[in-house]
Amino acid sequence: MKPFHPLTFWALFSSLTVGVIAADNALVAISAVGGAALIVKFYKQDGPWRMSFQWSLIAGAVLLLIRAITGMLIGVPRIGDVLFTIPRISLPDWLPGIRIGGDVTWERLSSSLQEGLIIATVIALFGAANSVTSPHKLLRILPSRIYQLGVTLTIATSVFPQLISSISRIRQAQFLRSGRKPSIGTIAIPLLEESLARAVYLAEAMEARGFGQSKSQSRYRPINYAPRDLFWISIGFISATAMVAL
Amino acid sequence: MITFSRVSLIYPHSTTTVIEDLSFEITEGEMVLVMGHTGSGKSSLLRLINGLVPHHTGGILGGEIIVDGKSTRRTKPGELAGIVGIVGQNPLSSFVTDTVEDELAFGMESLNFPPDVMRKRVEEALDQVGLASLRSRNIATLSGGEQQRLAIATALVMHPKVLVLDEPTSALDPIASEEVLAILHRLVHDLSVTVVLAEHRLERVIGYVDRILLIEGDGATSIGEPSEILQRTDLVPPIVRLSRALALDVIGTSTREVRKYSEAIRQSAPDSPRPIFQPGEVVISLNEISAGYAEKIALNSVSLQLRQGEITALMGRNGAGKSSLIKSAVGLLEPTSGSITFGGSLAGRDICEVSQRERSQLIGYIPQEPGDLLYLSTVAEECNRSDRDHQLASGTTLAALHQMLPTISPQSHPRDLSEGERLSLVLAIALAGSPVLLILDEPTRGLDYEAKNRLMALLHQRAREDGTCILMATHDVEIVAEVADRTIFLADGEKVADGTTLEVLLASPAFAPQVAKVMSPRPWLTVGDVLRAQSSSQ
């Protein structure tokens, strides 16, 4: 299958993101993630970025949880149905209006859940865009005038997926050394060293191959918008408009 | 093509020169090997050729380097992109795009080549390295050998006059390494490309190179014909050691040549095989283990018993399932079927029932990147940590390390050690708790002959004197020939051969060590074997 234009899905998911934020509605957010999941299922690419949608879902879920917990503990009191009460910590008088603990109302919980859900959705949509279009492809259509930015972004996007595999490799090795779960600090040192070395190495390789030498870049294959690119982009715009109008 | 005149190099924040007063000239269409101990400045020298050093790394360069009429002092590496192609040690981390074709086009796109030229050159390069059938594949899915060939092709599309390669075969199995070297050979002979490469495994490249540039320990350098340079150094491949040991009239760079001169011993000496080692009781047994996913089977019903005092080598092509087997044996990868049980004092216990703490006492594991295990700031701290982990008297690990490597400084940072020193440190740590099983994953990568000899001596001593059971996955046939009692061959996740090293290595021409190729069909794998046969005939 001929690949899509690199911007197609980024345009689609960016407009969905705008729509989800504007609509601020849990149902809309959930259906956007559902739609994204379908697109990822059909169009995901091979290679290390394939999994980024799954990872972003996990990250989103963690964030949602954190948001729900902090929402219950801290915040401005809201009147409504009391679900349960947690012990309240008394704060000095000069901090009026803020409270820690106390009554947890349904309104308070649902509003923080919704906020968390919107944030998680934005992250998931970003992950979905990465899953269907490798960031490398996106970078290749950057004009080479912004050379430094191009190098930096390429390094960041290449080192990141390797980082994940390195973490598990180093963790396993250290686990076997001592039989204890290694701490973040002990993993971080070899990991940082390796990532730095990799980044320098990649920058060198790009320079040695003449990246940024010429003001204009030619294209091995012309990158054009095909009808199906336009289809997906317009789907994005239409649904975003609908969500904003909601 | 390349002229170094009185070149010296010093890196920032360093007090010692990496290269001092180096002058040489390499002409067009030559293949030159740069050799020297680890840390002798080989990589720096290679990267001086296209100006990455000092433009990219910093440092002070003295003297002048002229490549195809251009001074690297005044020319940036990017401007030399069309003249010098460079292939680094680890090709995977130098790839910029996702697919094979895009990667080939990357350099040309940067230099604004017209699309029709690009298409022609991409086809050409794909054919030169034999990757045409993989053109639209994602790079991450290629095997190690294919990645190395792609890295060479990305340099070739620019039609460079000089190709620089840093350890091009170190991560490859013998077959893939032959393929890569054959490509280089063709480039030199058909297209008059000048090739400069560094490589520790001299046995793999020595037959191909025209000249050798030797960097000695004290920084002195010399360049000359292989036969001339190899006379003066200790860093020699087995074939040279063989002709020295037999006092032949040749230095010995090619199998054919040495074969001609060693006819007599092949005719007269008796086989006198090495004594077959009788291993002790079973330490660990893998019972019909399988691993992997539905679409990709990494291991298919492999059974294996490892015994006390026995050194077992695990060989096979890249992706044959060696890593999966090792990971299963140390308990990192749970097999989809089959079981792993311990022998000895833990008789019959399944690996799942043994706690991780206990497992780390039983098994010493050296990963492919020994640096993964190190996280403290000095060698001494790492050793103390290991003493505490294994409840040993303070100083035990450090003493063991010093026994292995007296020159190592306890105050140096683990990151500043050479590959060989770092491996010694990690071995000292892994062996501190006297594990019954020692598992090494590709331990000889980046080691020079000296460090390799040290490793072999240690493995031998551990196995024979302490009865440690050793399993080592490696592509290095020479170390297998020297130390392994038993060799297991994996292909596509299945065990295809399991027997004494002699039987297994002789049966496979591609994996035969250099001495065996010279002495074929006699059953001798190492210089030691030949000498034993010789002395028993007298």
Residues 311..370 of B with a Cβ closer than 8 Å to A: which?
Answer: 327, 330, 332, 355-361, 363, 365, 367, 369
- Could B372 and A47 be called an inter-chain contact, meaning their C-beta atoms sit closer than 8 Å? no
- Helix or strand (DSSP H, E) at A86: strand A82-89
ipTM: 0.84
Give the pLDDT score at B220. Answer: 81
Quickly tell me which residue has 């940072």 as its tokens.
B413
Q: Which of B275, B272, B335 is nearest to B303 (CA)?
A: B335
Q: Considering only CB atoms, which chain B residues are within 8 Å of A190?
A: 369, 371-375
Question: Which tokens is B346 given?
Answer: 């833990």
Largest Cα separation within chain A, whole Å, is 68
Three-state SS letters, B112-169 = CCCHHHHHHHHHHHHHHHCCHHHCCCEHHHCCHHHHHHHHHHHHHCCCCCEEEEECCC
Say if A208 is an interface residue toward chain B (CB within 8 Å).
Answer: yes
Q: Considering only CB atoms, which chain A residues are within 8 Å of B108?
A: 218, 220
- Interface-testing mutation among B86, B112, B334, with chain A (most A C-beta atoms within 10 A): B112
- Could B112 and A214 be called an inter-chain contact, meaning their C-beta atoms sit closer than 8 Å? yes
Say if A3 is an interface residue toward chain B (CB within 8 Å).
Answer: no
Residues 378..407 of B with a Cβ closer than 8 Å to A: which?
Answer: 389
Q: Calculate the dihedral angle through the C-alpha atoms of A178, A183, A184, A190, rounding to the nearest 10 degrees.
A: -20
- Could A169 and B369 be called an inter-chain contact, meaning their C-beta atoms sit closer than 8 Å? yes
- Could A179 and B372 be called an inter-chain contact, meaning their C-beta atoms sit closer than 8 Å? no
Angstrom distance (rounded) from CA B95 to CA B98 = 8
Q: Considering only CB atoms, which chain B residues are within 8 Å of A209?
A: 81, 96, 106-107, 110, 154, 158
Closest CB to B118 among A190, A215, A220 = A220
Give the pLDDT score at B59. Answer: 87
Closest CB to B372 among A144, A173, A219 = A173
Amino acid (1-letter code) at residue B401: L
Angstrom distance (rounded) from CA B466 to CA A12 = 65
- Interface-testing mutation among A157, A176, A195, with chain B (most B C-beta atoms within 10 A): A176
CA A221 to chain B, closest CA, distance in angstroms equals 7
DSSP 8-state code for residue B399: H
Q: A135-181: per-residue pLDDT in tens?
A: 777 777 777 667 677 778 777 777 777 787 788 888 888 888 887 88
Angstrom distance (rounded) from CA B111 to CA B107 = 6
Closest CB to A216 among B47, B112, B365 = B112
Give the pLDDT score at B152. Answer: 93
Decide: residue B455, CB within 10 A, 0-12 exposed, 13-18 middle, 19+ buried: buried
- Interface-testing mutation among B56, B96, B376, with chain A (most A C-beta atoms within 10 A): B96
Most confident range (mean pLDDT) of A42-51, A71-80, A217-226, B380-389 is B380-389
- Interface-testing mutation among B11, B110, B152, B156, with chain A (most A C-beta atoms within 10 A): B110
Asked if B331 and B351 count as a contact pair (C-beta separation under 8 A), the reply is yes
CA A26 to chain B, closest CA, distance in angstroms equals 36
Give the pLDDT score at A84. Answer: 80
CA A159 to chain B, closest CA, distance in angstroms equals 8
DSSP 8-state code for residue B368: S
Among A85-94, A106-115, B33-42, B79-88, whose mean pLDDT is lowest?
Answer: A85-94
- Could B97 and A136 be called an inter-chain contact, meaning their C-beta atoms sit closer than 8 Å? yes
Q: Calculate the dihedral angle through the C-alpha atoms of B279, B282, B288, B291, rounding to the nearest 10 degrees.
A: -90
Say if B56 is an interface residue toward chain A (CB within 8 Å).
Answer: yes
Task: Please give the order of strands across the beta sheet that includes B84-87.
Answer: B84-87, B162-166, B194-198, B31-36, B211-215, B221-224
Angstrom distance (rounded) from CA B309 to CA B467 = 4
Amino acid (1-letter code) at residue B47: R
Give the pLDDT score at B358. Answer: 84
Question: Which tokens is A50 given?
Answer: 């394939």
Task: Give every residue of chain B whose pLDDT is below 50, as ranges.
Answer: none
CB pairs under 8 A between A and B: 174
State in Å, rounded, how far the first CA of chain A is from the last one: 36
Nearest CA in chain B to A219: B109
Q: Which of A75, A70, A71, A104 is nearest to A87 (CA)?
A: A104
Residue A89: C-alpha distances to residues A65, A76, A98, A109 (Å): 22, 14, 11, 19
Average pLDDT, chain A: 84
Give the pLDDT score at B408. Answer: 87
Three-state SS letters, B437-455 = EEEEECCCCCCCHHHHHHH
Q: Considering only CB atoms, which chain B residues are within 8 Å of A48?
A: 140
Instruction: Give the count of beta carbons closer than 10 Å to the beta carbon of residue B27.
Output: 13
Say if A174 is an interface residue toward chain B (CB within 8 Å).
Answer: yes
- Could A220 and B115 be called an inter-chain contact, meaning their C-beta atoms sit closer than 8 Å? yes
- Could A212 and B113 be called an inter-chain contact, meaning their C-beta atoms sit closer than 8 Å? no
Say if A1 is an interface residue toward chain B (CB within 8 Å).
Answer: no
- Helix or strand (DSSP H, E) at B282: strand B282-292
Give the pLDDT score at A1. Answer: 63
- Helix or strand (DSSP H, E) at A90: none
DSSP lists the bridge partners of residue B64 as B5
Q: B379-392: per-residue pLDDT in tens?
A: 999 999 999 888 88
- Could A220 and B107 be called an inter-chain contact, meaning their C-beta atoms sit closer than 8 Å? no
DSSP lists the bridge partners of residue B441 as B473
Give the pLDDT score at B294. Answer: 60
Among A36-45, A83-92, A189-198, B278-287, whose mean pLDDT is lowest?
Answer: A83-92
Q: Considering only CB atoms, which chain A residues are within 8 Å of B81?
A: 208-210, 213
What are the φ/ψ torsions at residue B161 (nearest 5 degrees)? -90, -25
Residue A126: C-alpha distances to residues A57, A99, B313, B446, B455 (Å): 10, 34, 46, 40, 49
- Could B78 and A212 be called an inter-chain contact, meaning their C-beta atoms sit closer than 8 Å? yes
Give the pLDDT score at A77. Answer: 67
Q: Which of B332, B123, B447, B64 is nearest to A168 (CA)?
A: B332
Strands B17-26 and B2-10: antiparallel
Angstrom distance (rounded) from CA A131 to CA A126 = 9
Angstrom distance (rounded) from CA A195 to CA B289 = 34
Counts of helices then strands in chain B (DSSP H, E): 21, 19
Give the pLDDT score at B473. Answer: 94
Give the pLDDT score at A154. Answer: 75
Q: Considering only CB atoms, which chain A residues are within 8 Å of B93?
A: 158, 162, 198, 201-202, 205
Give the pLDDT score at B436. Answer: 92
